[in-house]
Amino acid sequence: MKRGKKYNEAAKLVEAQKLHDVNEALDLVQKTSITKFDATVEAHIRLGVDSRHADQQVRGAVVLPHGTGREVRVLVFAKGEKAAEAEAAGADYVGAEELVAKIQGESWFEFDVVVATPDMMSVVGRIGRVLGPKGLMPNPKAGTVTADVAKAISEIKAGKIEYRLDKTNIIHVPIGKVSFGTEKLTDNFQTLMGAIIKAKPAAAKGTYLRSVVLASTMGPGIKVNPLRVTE
């Protein structure tokens, strides 16, 4: 793959096969950020599980102590009192069947997270085929199917992120912005890793954390020593 001049210059700072401690890796992520904007720092974690098996799924949500650094648009499917609660809690969009029609008819996706009350899941299910592939389908494990919509919205706005395996058994999640600095990024990363380690399936055998890579948007990947991620 042909890389740009800025990327190639940044990549010279990285030893391709070296496994770094967390703080060292995050220092490098900041030094190798090549964008003019405040880049997102991402974690890519390969796990020793097989996502094809239901008993080896790893999925959940965690509130990052310093948030993600970006504004999250929350859509809530609710009616009556719960709709009023969602609006009062700061949801960006609240509705029911009319939002389903808007998504179906206009391919409208001006939102980042979807929350639904349990009684609305039959309605939300009508658009499961379009929400699912985008990672937007509400899920009880992620806390996005709940009667306590106010709490869900508050946590999401405060920096709650969802993590889950992709088909290659890797979790991809943002842990903040380059401008956060090493200390805040470390706090966020350790919080995420603690949740993922706690979520280890009983059926998982062998090495659980296969590899951990940190990178800024468009920047080179920095390898982290999987044995040192919780230190």
DSSP codes, 17-67? TPPBPHHHHHHHHHHT---SS-PEEEEEEEESS-TTSGGG--EEEEE-TT-
Low-confidence residues in the chain, pLDDT < 50? none
| The overall pTM is greater than 0.85 | no
In this prediction, residue 231 carries a pLDDT of 55
Alpha-carbon distance 186 to 124, whole Å?
A: 36
Alpha-carbon distance 139 to 132, whole Å?
A: 10
In this prediction, residue 1 carries a pLDDT of 63
3-state SS, residue 149: helix
In this prediction, residue 124 carries a pLDDT of 96
* Pairing label, strands 74-77, 113-116: parallel
In this prediction, residue 2 carries a pLDDT of 67
Q: What is the pLDDT of residues 94-127, one digit of tens each?
A: 999 999 999 999 999 999 999 999 999 999 999 9
The backbone torsions φ and ψ at residue 62, rounded to the nearest 5 degrees and listed phi first, read -150, 145
